[in-house]
Amino acid sequence: MPNLPFLTLAELRSGYSRKEFQPSEVIEAHLKRIEALNPELNAYLEVFGDGARDRARALDKKLAQGGPLGPLFGVPLAVKDVLCVEGTKTTCGSKMLEPFIAPYDASCIRRLRDQGAVFLGKTNMDEFAMGSSTENSAFGPTRNPFGLERVPGGSSGGSAAAVAAHLCQAALGSDTGGSIRQPAAFCGIVGLKPTYGRVSRYGLVAFASSLDQIGPMTKTSEDAAILFWAIAGHDPKDMTSSTRPVPPLEALFGQDPRRFRLGLPKEYFVEGMDQEVRDALLATLAKLEGLGIQVEEVSLPHTPYATAVYYIIATSEASSNLARYDGVKYGFSAKHADSMLELYERTRAAGFGLEVKRRIMLGTYALSAGYYEAYFKKAAQVRRLILEDFTRAFEKVDAIVSPTTPTPPFLLGEKIEDPLTMYLSDIYTNALNLAGLPGMSLPIARTGDGLPVGMQIIAPAFMEERLFCLGRLIEELTNPPIQGVPFDQPIA
């Protein structure tokens, strides 16, 4: 029997179809690995051990009965703790929601459940998805499987670490400014941010509603396509959900990427880019050019403003969305308050962490009387210009490529006291959220210290299939190992 936690999602599906193993064996192997390794990684905040075993036994019976199996049948998944799973905690990595039990499933969770997926547990994250290192969690930082002294990225760091350490077959994350793609790059896995509106946000705890998107975090591009297909599509419960049809699963790899024209933004080669990151990207592009793929320079002239625009819009929306946490309706509530105002003040002072407070204050300031037009309105105008930059570029090329991050994963504590430096970790990713475009990070190399380097592919809106086709070709050319050290070894 193969080492079950090390299989890809596609390999797992194939094994089930041949009845080489059954769901209860797969789930037990993953739970055993979680028990052994999660204390060091802190990737999971909660593990659904009994529930996962019960679900697996029910699927064993279905497998024995024969008949068609769905693409997610018996697949063990991890869920970022910003998504509601009925009857379980949804903390968002915050003391503010520590006692909250979700009364319903998020729409994407329901879709996966209906297709036979098994949920192993909830993963750690930066509080309310605000961070780039998963150090802002109220429940301690997650560590990178490639080096326990390093961050896994954020805010979906727990999901990224769980996939990289084979503590699940795949995971769900959320991406507001890079929170799927940046940790995917840091942990040597594949991470997809779909087009805005492609996946329903119903049941996702909001950070910035015009930027947030749910997406898959997997071991391969093929796995990302399978999981994307399973969760994508219109949902009447989400008024921003697109009615555009999702291509059939087999069509997601129907294009020949060798005919693509690729754009390389000249503005992305900025001061501060690590030399090994630059070299890995250029080496990969050289391999693609060797296959006859045309790579040309494109310009995204408003790139220098993207990070500033992102942090005005995102914090403004966060200020509005997080106003609901007042100690009255649900979640944490301060005790012994003598007035409603004191209740609000004490609840928010104790319930929110430093980074969340910082962003609420920034957003409140940007929206305040006398500053709205100077900050939020101007940011919204520049946001439109950023989208127009991409639109013009895609008139010339089929996809755009870039580094995912300017550096390999940094050390725990290295940037936590310098928020401006931390914010620059998302310099290549946040423009896509502003423009609503799909982007995918995949591993292309390892540094001399063995740390992962990620490459980002960007496609026009609703053209995710270009990412999967090109991603699979790049994987064939680079074939970087995704395993971490010492987390690439089986559990005895």
Active site (catalytic) residues: 80, 155, 179
Question: What single DSSP character describes residue 194?
Answer: P
Q: Before 245, cis peptide (omega within 30)?
A: no
Between helices 49-65 and 23-41, what is the axis angle to 10°? Answer: 160
CA geometry: angle 221, 222, 225, nearest 5 deg: 90
Edge-to-edge strands of the sheet including 76-80?
44-47, 118-123, 76-80, 170-175, 213-218, 190-193, 439-446, 452-458, 399-403, 261-265, 294-298
End-to-end C-alpha distance for the chain, whole angstroms: 14
For 479, how many CA atoms within 13 A lie in the half-sphere containing its CB? 2
Structure tokens, 448: 């001399």
φ/ψ of 191, rounded to 5, equals: -135, 130
Question: What single DSSP character describes residue 146?
Answer: T
The set of residues, in sequence order, having a beta carbon less than 8 Å from that of 280 and lying 6+ positions away, is 444, 445, 453, 455
**Residue 197 amino acid letter:** G
The set of residues, in sequence order, having a beta carbon less than 8 Å from that of 6 and lying 6+ positions away, is 166, 490
Helices (H) and strands (E) in the chain, counts: 15, 11
Closest residue by Cα to residue 183 from 25, 404, 21 = 404
The set of residues, in sequence order, having a beta carbon less than 8 Å from that of 75 and lying 6+ positions away, is 9, 12, 13, 116, 117, 118, 169, 170
User: Can you list the pairs that 1-4 forms with residues at least 24 positions away whose Cβ atoms lie under 8 Å?
Assistant: 1/25, 3/29, 3/490, 4/29, 4/30
